[in-house]
Structure 1
């Protein structure tokens, strides 16, 4: 009985089967594409047919509607129902009354389910009946319903014929492929298989495969190649012994290569004895290669590793279970006392007649040291080598939990060096770095070892005092004493480059644990207390208290409300008239920002303007003020109320003015709003321009070239230096209301106001007095020669509509 495959296991049947599947799939794909294209074409033809039917039926329908001829309407209906695909017709007049209609029942069809998948079962067509000469008004309508299944019958018949034809063609193709594969491929392969089975593996060159006469295809090439292979195998057997001899020589070369590798390689049996080791491993344990053979690992590593038994256990696992063991890190002590870190890979190896453990070890000491250095750098400040913010947060979090668990108190000290920027600016950053290093050393020396000193950034340091006392008051007292000690130590002179530098610090203190405060809350509380010191004059200590917490909380709440206020359009501008003291006429106005909170009502600018400044929202709000003011100027000009020489003033915040893009933003806004020429005035305070006079002059002159004037607000409360005043492109001085308020009773205020007015006139500047509320104030200012004034004496700031009324009345009276 032979093991030859049956017909259905042969290559011809398998190929025929694959051919059937491929032919079916290809035929199905091509038929699907053809059906889709035919369906698309059929839809176009049907649309054209429906249009033609409508065109033919429209003229008689129009006559029937025009003459109200019911008989003609019925003829139109019957004519359309003559089409197989039309199942309903209706003719209506212009009022929608039916002149004639007709319906036929849908014919039974086996393809209606298919029609519902590819189209609507019915389709409604309608046409307005417009009678020539009567305009475009429809006099009636013609509508008919199409049975899409009947309309697509021709498509179904044609598609069925195409599918049957395709199936017959594919079946014939499969039969032809089957016979072709059998005679061309399968039958010769069967003969080749029988001949291969008859070849003796021990003597492959004795017999050869019978070639196929007259054929030069791949199968003939396979026979030739097989005969060549048999010759090659016969030849390779003859070379076998020569190869084995060469392998022995190469083994010696391989040993040389292994000895030259920089990694440590060795093999141990299940008893822990070394079978071989390369030079790197032998040198590490202080032996040579020859003496390593047979050495017990217990004797070699008795003092070099912590656990020799663990090494033996790993070897036994590898040998008995046939698994690899990876040892990422193990410490090793050499005979010279040098500590190494090794990364080892232990794997099973068939060594002659036994399985042993092959150990490949790499010295990772340098990488380990580098990782330790990187770990240190990740948690320490590069300049002072103090713990950084990352380590501070981790240590402080641990300390808070420990203090809560054991019931004692500690303290967090937030330390900021006063005026440190002056050292960097005047003496350079190298000197500043030396000072920071010295401060770090002084802080470390002033606290205990268990305390933590960290550098946050710049000139900010944090000291965590641990285990002060179980009593909160006593702990606070000790924290205050240590803080004062730190403040005194830092205040000692710094000797650098023949200079004695003196520097002070502001210290904010918070006691923990307190009300389950988190690490970041404690740091924020200490930071808040430190800034309280800054506001009070620096070089002092301040403890965080509930008032500070309430202030911070209120500021955060207000900051969130301000974000929503800008988005919800809760801001508004009020306008306070600026009045000529001589004529009493309105010469301009100042735009005042107001906030109408939806629940808290009107909020004072003194409360929310500082929050806008600190949060950065002043930039967005300031841009809104500028755009609103420009839009208002355009409105006033369109009404004819804004006359040449009148100016609208807006206040510019320091943060807004110091932005590098401030001038560009203003100029872009002016391009969008065609405001009257020379009608916009910007009020800046002395503090804004005095810090960076050169940059301020460049910005102000650039804007002045575009018709924007500048007034110096709150004049007299700041530097009030004529040396810089004459450099600035300022056209107006505004006397602060704090001088005007007591001008009637305070002689010093009168002298200051008179001096400012006289100086303004001598410098050819307009002078505006703010906060004029009494007639007596007005009389004094008028007597001193003040040009303009603002205040309740004339009007407070009013809404836009109220100021519109003022301008309208002012224009009429003028």
Structure 2
């Protein structure tokens, strides 16, 4: 206010003509002198000076371009000594013109009074208004200007500026008072009711404020009225907002209760947390049983989930995630764990630091621990219950429970034959039948309140039966389960039969984790399958040793594939008429780095179960054909020489089998007639039509086919005639029963006769004694193979055998070969 009352009025002259600056200074300086002379004349005429003197001193600054003038204006504002008015020339080349200079200055100081001085008529008043807008702070002074006009403008505009500034200051004071009053009203509204004494004081203060307002001029009174009206309106709006907020809070509370979510609000400054009644009830607690400490939440989180929750909260508080969200387990009052989805968002201060974290908690146990297909508990819930049972067994020495691991037999065959939809229907039906069996069977009815059935995935189910009295009780349950599941299922017009293999593990000292007990039940189940399926087996420690040995074998087998540890041995096939070698059967061996030479019987089953047999068998086939190609080149005098190679079921079922064999024959420069593939009866009978189709494709390549281990399967004569085969290989179990007298040779004689009638070659496997050879020749069998002639040989020894006279011919062991 002191600056406004100062008689020095600051004026800025912006003109590119220095003479203009000088003229303006003279005019305004003369105006001050004239004013003093008039004051003296007034004294002479009236005898005393005027009560109010209008002596005004102007402080004049000069700028010669618009940009320079703008800098002066900015500097004056920074110093707190703004200009009251500015004379701006219209034309100031090469810089801004008067209109542009005015626009730029008003962006910095919108209160500055500006007089544009122009001697031109090319820019009209309307054009200026169009560019600058209508304003009471803009005037035009035509050049050449009259001194009186300049002096009048300087006096009037600076006085107007001073009055405007005083009014603005008064307005700010008024606004501050009104804002203060508004805050008082808001505080009063928040407290809802004020005491009578406070109301009286408010009235007194309001009257005092009204008296202060009356001291202002009419313009200010009008502005006060406007501000008072605005305050009243704001108070009404505040009251409406409070009502809306109350209703919104009611709606939110109703919505939260309807959504069945628990709410929490963590004050990070005080480290106190509010839990809603629903949050506490979700965990089985009453309102007063949980305090407002964060520890009440954190200590109930499952130990395996604590770190994950803390990391998620920390990431959100640090601003790394848009919100906090985590699924974890919470300890229920009854001792079980339930799954919850916890979500929240932080409230931050002006510095971005989190001050609150609020959100909700939703019980997702049902969706988290239930199998989507069958509705049974899934692995997650089952393992949790199994862990509880194990802890209970450690507390109670008389407590016994059994874990059943069930796997449907031939489920893949059912799935492939009737489709996945019916397969899913079967799984659902099995689940319902298991529930019904454990719920209603008289012999196991006492377990109906202490059992849990779960689906682990695929066709695997588990059952936990608690409070059994003896291990034999578990056997009773298993027998009942197998009986129930053996009945046919009627599904979408299909009558489906299935059986189940069950592994049983009973709790015993030494188990620390539920995964260990589940693993042992799984091991017992696999043993049940290995023993013929549709049965149950109890786990014993020896099974674990065998399972560990099998795992080690599988690991070594995978390494053997990578390290090329496999070799092919060759056992000769002999003509029983001439004693000559007519071919070899390729036999796979594993040159183990520690165990030495390992026979196929020890590793083929594992190779088939792990599907490694495809790559191993493919390599053996290629290697045998390569060796055959070498023999073809070394022994051209043996045109009918042939190599026999066994095909596993997984190899035979490959869709591109024929293509693979054709490529191998091309690579090794062999013809199809040089190769004979040996396939078991059971393999052919798994899918007769598909097998016949594959065999036909092989015959198109000229490849010969032999049925291996003939007589041990269930191939009927009708199918035998249907398949395009060349050779029957009589299984060694029949040859080993032949006595020197010829006893027990009838079955072999029948097979040989059958083969001859069908036009097939017959090879007797497992020829180990002289009398077996003699009887086979009497029967009329043309070919033999076995240790009597030779054990399997490596490629070098086999080559030497072909090049020499075989021992069984040179020794003339009472057998005449012609």
Q: CA deviation at 1:744?
A: 2.9
Q: CA deviation at 1:712?
A: 0.8
Matched, 1:395 2:385: yes
Counterpart-to-counterpart distance in 2, 1:211 and 1:310 = 80
Counterpart-to-counterpart distance in 1, 2:574 and 2:76 = 122
Q: CA deviation at 1:625?
A: 0.5
User: Are 2:710 and 2:728, in contact at CA under 8 Å, matched by a contact in 1?
Assistant: yes
Residue number in structure 2 paired with 1:225: 104
Counterpart-to-counterpart distance in 2, 1:729 and 1:253 = 100
Residue number in structure 2 paired with 1:216: 95
Q: CA deviation at 1:800?
A: 0.9
1:580/1:281 Cα in 2 relative to 1: closer, same or farther (>3 Å)? same
Q: CA RMSD in A?
A: 5.0
Q: CA deviation at 1:495?
A: 7.8
Match of 1:416 among 402, 407, 424: 407
1:541/1:218 Cα in 2 relative to 1: closer, same or farther (>3 Å)? farther
User: Are 1:344 and 1:361, in contact at CA under 8 Å, matched by a contact in 2?
Assistant: yes
Residue number in structure 1 paired with 2:334: none
1:311/1:617 Cα in 2 relative to 1: closer, same or farther (>3 Å)? closer
Counterpart-to-counterpart distance in 2, 1:345 and 1:235 = 52
User: Are 2:729 and 2:765, in contact at CA under 8 Å, matched by a contact in 1?
Assistant: yes
User: Are 2:561 and 2:616, in contact at CA under 8 Å, matched by a contact in 1?
Assistant: yes
Counterpart-to-counterpart distance in 2, 1:412 and 1:218 = 96
Residue number in structure 2 paired with 1:588: 583
Counterpart-to-counterpart distance in 1, 2:342 and 2:552 = 57
Deviations 1:355-387 (A, max 9, x none): xxxx9999x8xxx7xx64x64233111233211
Counterpart-to-counterpart distance in 1, 2:377 and 2:97 = 76
Q: CA deviation at 1:686?
A: 0.7
Residue number in structure 2 paired with 1:507: 502
1:254/1:605 Cα in 2 relative to 1: closer, same or farther (>3 Å)? farther
Counterpart-to-counterpart distance in 1, 2:587 and 2:231 = 100
Residue number in structure 2 paired with 1:699: 694
Q: CA deviation at 1:684?
A: 0.7
Q: More displaced, 541-550 or 635-644?
A: 635-644
User: Are 1:404 and 1:513, in contact at CA under 8 Å, matched by a contact in 2?
Assistant: no
Counterpart-to-counterpart distance in 1, 2:289 and 2:713 = 82
User: Are 1:586 and 1:810, in contact at CA under 8 Å, matched by a contact in 2?
Assistant: no
Counterpart-to-counterpart distance in 2, 1:742 and 1:302 = 83
Counterpart-to-counterpart distance in 1, 2:455 and 2:548 = 26
User: Are 1:205 and 1:230, in contact at CA under 8 Å, matched by a contact in 2?
Assistant: no
User: Are 1:773 and 1:792, in contact at CA under 8 Å, matched by a contact in 2?
Assistant: yes
Residue number in structure 2 paired with 1:21: none
Matched, 1:794 2:784: no
Residue number in structure 2 paired with 1:557: 552
Matches within 5 A, 1:151-190: 190=71
Residue number in structure 2 paired with 1:689: 684
Deviations 1:444-500 (A, max 9, x none): 5153434322112344321112344xxxxx542333344345445555776889999
Match of 1:436 among 430, 436, 444: 430
Deviations 1:6-37 (A, max 9, x none): xxxxxxxxxxxxxxxxxxxxxxxxxxxxxxxx
Counterpart-to-counterpart distance in 2, 1:285 and 1:553 = 58
Q: More displaced, 708-717 or 549-558?
A: 549-558
Residue number in structure 2 paired with 1:110: none
User: Are 2:378 and 2:456, in contact at CA under 8 Å, matched by a contact in 1?
Assistant: yes
Matched, 1:380 2:260: no
User: Are 1:633 and 1:676, in contact at CA under 8 Å, matched by a contact in 2?
Assistant: no
1:510/1:749 Cα in 2 relative to 1: closer, same or farther (>3 Å)? same
1:280/1:479 Cα in 2 relative to 1: closer, same or farther (>3 Å)? same
1:517/1:791 Cα in 2 relative to 1: closer, same or farther (>3 Å)? farther
Give aligned pairs, total. Answer: 559
Secondary structure at the aligned position of 1:663 is classed as helix
Counterpart-to-counterpart distance in 1, 2:232 and 2:743 = 112
Counterpart-to-counterpart distance in 2, 1:528 and 1:437 = 22
User: Are 2:740 and 2:775, in contact at CA under 8 Å, matched by a contact in 1?
Assistant: no
Secondary structure at the aligned position of 1:230 is classed as coil
Matched, 1:461 2:461: yes
Q: CA deviation at 1:545?
A: 1.4
User: Are 2:65 and 2:95, in contact at CA under 8 Å, matched by a contact in 1?
Assistant: no
- Which 5+ residue runs of structure 1 have no aligned equivalent? 1-182, 260-265, 268-274, 287-300, 315-325, 330-340, 350-358, 469-473
1:235/1:440 Cα in 2 relative to 1: closer, same or farther (>3 Å)? farther
1:244/1:739 Cα in 2 relative to 1: closer, same or farther (>3 Å)? farther
Q: CA deviation at 1:308?
A: 11
Residue number in structure 2 paired with 1:451: 451
1:455/1:361 Cα in 2 relative to 1: closer, same or farther (>3 Å)? closer
Deviations 1:31-87 (A, max 9, x none): xxxxxxxxxxxxxxxxxxxxxxxxxxxxxxxxxxxxxxxxxxxxxxxxxxxxxxxxx
Q: CA deviation at 1:694?
A: 1.9
Counterpart-to-counterpart distance in 2, 1:246 and 1:702 = 100
1:248/1:379 Cα in 2 relative to 1: closer, same or farther (>3 Å)? same
Counterpart-to-counterpart distance in 2, 1:460 and 1:214 = 93
Secondary structure at the aligned position of 1:582 is classed as coil
1:639/1:307 Cα in 2 relative to 1: closer, same or farther (>3 Å)? same
Counterpart-to-counterpart distance in 1, 2:805 and 2:97 = 109
User: Are 1:490 and 1:505, in contact at CA under 8 Å, matched by a contact in 2?
Assistant: yes
1:457/1:754 Cα in 2 relative to 1: closer, same or farther (>3 Å)? same
Match of 2:737 among 742, 764, 770: 742
Matches within 5 A, 1:71-82: none
Counterpart-to-counterpart distance in 2, 1:656 and 1:545 = 35
User: Are 1:508 and 1:526, in contact at CA under 8 Å, matched by a contact in 2?
Assistant: yes
User: Are 2:408 and 2:460, in contact at CA under 8 Å, matched by a contact in 1?
Assistant: yes
1:209/1:466 Cα in 2 relative to 1: closer, same or farther (>3 Å)? farther
Q: CA deviation at 1:536?
A: 3.9
Counterpart-to-counterpart distance in 2, 1:729 and 1:218 = 107
1:282/1:588 Cα in 2 relative to 1: closer, same or farther (>3 Å)? closer
Secondary structure at the aligned position of 2:582 is classed as strand
Q: More displaced, 569-578 or 186-195?
A: 186-195
1:630/1:235 Cα in 2 relative to 1: closer, same or farther (>3 Å)? farther
Secondary structure at the aligned position of 1:802 is classed as helix
1:566/1:690 Cα in 2 relative to 1: closer, same or farther (>3 Å)? same
Counterpart-to-counterpart distance in 2, 1:729 and 1:506 = 37
Secondary structure at the aligned position of 2:781 is classed as coil
Residue number in structure 1 paired with 2:38: none
When normalised by structure 1's length, the TM-score is 0.58
Counterpart-to-counterpart distance in 2, 1:223 and 1:479 = 100
Match of 1:730 among 704, 725, 730: 725
Counterpart-to-counterpart distance in 2, 1:196 and 1:208 = 18
User: Are 2:373 and 2:428, in contact at CA under 8 Å, matched by a contact in 1?
Assistant: no
1:617/1:642 Cα in 2 relative to 1: closer, same or farther (>3 Å)? farther
User: Are 1:410 and 1:475, in contact at CA under 8 Å, matched by a contact in 2?
Assistant: no
1:208/1:733 Cα in 2 relative to 1: closer, same or farther (>3 Å)? farther
Q: CA deviation at 1:805?
A: 0.8
Q: CA deviation at 1:419?
A: 5.4
Counterpart-to-counterpart distance in 2, 1:642 and 1:690 = 39
Matches within 5 A, 1:228-267: 230=110
Matched, 1:659 2:654: yes
Deviations 1:543-585 (A, max 9, x none): 1113322222222222222223333333221111112222222
Secondary structure at the aligned position of 2:639 is classed as coil
Q: CA deviation at 1:249?
A: 12
Secondary structure at the aligned position of 2:673 is classed as coil
User: Are 1:737 and 1:770, in contact at CA under 8 Å, matched by a contact in 2?
Assistant: yes
Q: CA deviation at 1:240?
A: 9.2
Residue number in structure 2 paired with 1:404: 394
Q: CA deviation at 1:209?
A: 6.3
Counterpart-to-counterpart distance in 2, 1:235 and 1:241 = 22
Q: CA deviation at 1:434?
A: 5.1
User: Are 2:91 and 2:97, in contact at CA under 8 Å, matched by a contact in 1?
Assistant: no
